[in-house]
Structure 1
């Protein structure tokens, strides 16, 4: 069963952890000095916050698949929109290694569809270099403002803001 994903960029992580822990009635499932995530079953959501961006608010939305087949089913829906879809295999982001598809909606909001493969000890793979097609391990497509402004995408730590 898929899980809805929301990622917010926040200024004060501790203050927001307190707020969302109270709102959700539970502590984060994953917590780091720059990131927190709640994997909730009611409502079924993957809600993440980080203080790694210079722009606060909605970072991106998404759908988390539980397996490869579910991710491929989501990909078919993305393709049906007839908008560009960016593929990222084995992407390192948010302390996880995942296979991902990114798309931008008509308003410019980035949507991430992903299947998490394994946990990793860092937020992203700062050693990842852009190949011109897949900018960096943790960034939405070029035509969106989510995660990091275009100007910052020329560095290897685009999501560190």
Structure 2
């Protein structure tokens, strides 16, 4: 079963951890100096926050697969929908090793599809012989911010 994923940039990590812990009724499953993550079951979500963004707000959305088969199924659906797909493959990001690919919806919102293979002790690391940077975050040049309406309307 897939898990919905949201990654948000925050200005004050400690205040955000306190807020989301109360909102979710649960403490984070992982806390680092610049990052926190909740792996919730109800609702089934991987919710991550970090101080690594240029502005506070939603960085990207995604789905975390429980298996390589689920990840392959999501990739096939993205390709069938003629979405621009950036296949990263095996990489390290957000304190984890994973296989992943990125797609961008018609509004320019980045979606990450990934299968986590294990934890790592740093936010992102490269292999010693790697020539290209690790593809941790959404592909550059793609708008990923989700605009939020201001004013009195609720939606």
Normalising by the residue count of structure 2, what TM-score does the alignment of the two structures yield?
0.86
Q: Which residue of 2 aligns with 1:16?
A: 16
Distance 2:28 2:117 in 1: 20
Q: Which residue of 2 aligns with 1:119?
A: 119
Distance 1:116 1:30 in 2: 14
SS of corresponding position for 1:77: helix
Q: Which residue of 2 aligns with 1:36?
A: 36
Distance 1:86 1:49 in 2: 23
Alignment of 1:30-109 (within 5 A): 30-109=30-109
Report how many aligned residue pairs link the two structures.
Answer: 143
Contact 1:95 1:122 in 2 (8 A): yes
SS of corresponding position for 2:115: strand
SS of corresponding position for 1:101: strand
Q: What's the Cα RMSD here?
A: 1.6
Distance 1:129 1:96 in 2: 20
Query: How far is 1:137 from its partner?
Result: 2.6
Q: Which residue of 1 aligns with 2:110?
A: 110
Query: How far is 1:129 from its partner?
Result: 4.3
SS of corresponding position for 1:28: coil
Distance 1:129 1:57 in 2: 31
SS of corresponding position for 2:114: strand
Contact 1:8 1:57 in 2 (8 A): yes
Larger Rg: 2
Residues 58, 50 of structure 1: alpha-carbon distance in 2 compared, 3 angstrom cutoff: same
